[in-house]
Amino acid sequence: MNVTLDQIQAPIAAEMEEFELKFRASMKTRQLLLDKIMGYIVKRKGKQIRPMFVFFTAKISGGDPLPEASFRGAALIELLHTATLVHDDVVDESNYRRGFFSINALWKNKIAVLVGDYLLARGLQLALENDDFDLLKIVNNAVRELSEGELLQIEKARRLDITEDVYFDIIRQKTASLIASCCAVGAASTGASKEVIERARLFGEKVGMAFQIKDDLFDFGTDEVGKPVGIDIKEKKMTLPLIYALQQADWLTKRRVIFNVKNNDGRKDRVQAVIDFVKKSGGLEYAIKVMESYRDEALTILRTFPESASRNSLEQLINYTIEREK
């Protein structure tokens, strides 16, 4: 991939710096332990893809220069999303997040749950103090969908009976809803019409679908990509490459593969047998084709917005998300 995130970010570089300062300020608290944990969270921030989607979508929707509401919208999404990640690490009993120790690993589960609750409350407070009810409604809907998607995936993992339609429902709720909310918030923060907000939301949803399928493809790779190979199989998650491969298999093969998924107990040989089966059955090629279809749909929607540096960067950002190697 030739283009870097810094290059993509160029049209909003000043806004991203300003956002960082404002977001740090929004995390400050007079409670010493909480302030220490907030500082730790801010330091281990990721690529900040979500604020980028908010700001780019705000700009292509007519918000140039960006209004204050765009910064608050990006902070609201970051606060609520970070809360869900902190809670996820407790649920998953995970000790690491993006190569750093998780909050529950350093401060135990009880504190991690309370920190997640605080982040949720802080996000709500930020929106309510500024009467950002329209932004809060968009983000609240995304958090609700995210929770429903997680629960649906857990329920289906017990029976391993996921169809393609159910899989698409799960990833639309779990991943795509958040990127969709970033884009809808970006448009809404500029006072855009309902039609523009919905177009921005649908654009983000298509990007999110492509993003998650790319993430699922990493499970069948051979390189270290920030996500251990085979982790989805170990956790009995049915992803698109595996669902497609099972659809093509005869009854006996299907039974054997499902047995290996259900009873892998972390055994490398059983996990590898599933990976080999998916590769031989064309599961990866099929998933790549579907991912590229979602990308093309996203680009088609994006090109209905006026041409600009921000629109060009969004196009690059879409390609970055599906060409990334981690």
| Residue-averaged pLDDT of the chain | 87
pLDDT at residue 142 tops 50: yes
Q: Are 115 and 35 in contact (CB under 8 A)?
A: no
More confident residue, 238 or 94: 238
Report the DSSP beta bridge partners of residue 97. Answer: 100
Per-residue pLDDT at 226: 45
User: What pLDDT band is residue 104 in, cutting at 50, 70 and 90?
Assistant: confident
Q: How confident is the model at residue 98 (pLDDT cuts 50, 70, 90)?
A: low
Q: What is the CATH number of domain 5-323?
A: 1.10.600.10
58 with 70: CB under 8 angstroms? yes
Average pLDDT over residues 95-124: 80
pLDDT, average across residues 164-191: 94
Once rounded to an integer, what is the mean pLDDT over residues 172-187? 95
This prediction has a pTM of 0.89
Cβ atoms of 221 and 284 within 8 Å: the answer is no
Is 187:163 a contact under the CB 8 Å cutoff?
no
In the three-class reduction of DSSP (H, G, I as helix; E, B as strand; rest coil), residue 122 is classed as: helix
Whole-angstrom distance, CA of residue 311 vs CA of residue 303: 8
227: pLDDT strictly greater than 60: no
pLDDT digits (tens, 9 = 90+) for 65-96: 889 999 999 999 988 888 888 777 777 777 76
Strands 100-101 and 96-97: antiparallel
Q: How far from 233 is each of 202, 253, 259, CA to CA, in Å?
A: 30, 17, 12
